[in-house]
Structure 1
Amino acid sequence: MLLRGHCLCGACTFELDGPPRFVCHCHCESCRRATAAPFTTWIGQPDGHWRFTGTPPTCRESSPGTRRGSCPVCGSPMFYESDRYPGERHFYAALLDNPGAVTPTLHFHAAEHLPWIALNDGLPQH
């Protein structure tokens, strides 16, 4: 399985190879604010199974032990990584060339979901 994706302007490109550790919707306030969206869908990819193939993203520490990457050209958010989850990087499913190639299997931080988002898809909620 090889998945490709890119930022809004196309400068930052990436590839994910092999199966992801998880695909989930995250409803935490931090993810909402980082993306200006009601929730984010993540692909958790093990280290060694992802690579940047275009302009490397810039990286900043968004909170202690947490780093977020973005395109230095257009500013699109590209990834999340945290000391809490060693050995993996989380990529935005919406950046894939074919986002339909992955299927979320759970809602993470479901207790923080916005009241106007209906979590009635039958997926487990953590």
Structure 2
Amino acid sequence: MKLSGGCHCGALRYEIDGEAVASAICHCRDCRKSTGAPLTGWLMIPREALTIAGEPKVYASSAHGRRFFCGTCGASLFYANAETLPGLIDVQSGSLDDPEQAPPRIHVMGSQRVSWTRRLDDLPEFATYPDQPPEA
């Protein structure tokens, strides 16, 4: 598998040359707080399959967890935990140039899931932002 992606401003770019170990939607509180989103898509790959152009900032989000992000635009890109996932790194699938190439296969951390995410498909959908603000 060959994939590419990057941060919002383009200061960080990456390439993946290898097969994914897993592709998931994570519902944990740590991911929510890190991304500001109710759920996060991840593509888990061998660390050696990832080449990064640019120097990401690193944040120790837990004793062993490390989150990598762009120091310019703040976009969150990678997560690694050498203790529980040695040799692996998670890439946020939303940062891929073509996220359609890495669809999620599982949900993880469902015990921490925000309950209303179970009914997202029931909400009205607009192709673009509607002319009138939708009702709250």
- TM-score by length of structure 1 reads 0.90
User: What is the Cα deviation at residue 71 of structure 1?
Assistant: 0.5
Could you give the per-residue CA deviations for residues 55-110 of structure 1, whole angstroms, max 9, x where no partner exists? 21011211101111110111111110012111111010000000000121110011
Q: Of Structure 1 and Structure 2, which has the larger fraction of its residues in helix?
A: 2
Report the Cα distance in structure 2 between the residues aligned to 1:120 and 1:74, rounded to whole angstroms: 28
User: What is the Cα deviation at residue 120 of structure 1?
Assistant: 9.5
Identity of aligned residues (%): 33
Which runs of at least 4 in structure 1 moved beyond 2 Å after TM superposition? none
Partner of 1:114: 114
Correspondence 1:89-108 to 2 at 5 A: 89-108=89-108
The DSSP-based 3-state class of the residue aligned with 1:63 is: coil
The change in CA–CA distance for 1:107 and 1:120 in structure 2 (over 3 A counts) is: farther
Partner of 1:8: 8
The change in CA–CA distance for 1:102 and 1:119 in structure 2 (over 3 A counts) is: farther
The DSSP-based 3-state class of the residue aligned with 2:100 is: helix
User: What is the Cα deviation at residue 45 of structure 1?
Assistant: 0.8
Partner of 2:49: 49
The change in CA–CA distance for 1:115 and 1:64 in structure 2 (over 3 A counts) is: same
- TM-score by length of structure 2 reads 0.84
Instruction: Structure 2: give runs of 5+ residues left out of the alignment.
Output: 122-136
Partner of 1:76: 75
What is the letter of the counterpart of residue 19 of structure 1?
A: E
User: What is the Cα deviation at residue 17 of structure 1?
Assistant: 1.0
Partner of 1:124: none
Q: How many equivalent pairs are there?
A: 120
Report the Cα distance in structure 2 between the residues aligned to 1:16 and 1:115, rounded to whole angstroms: 33
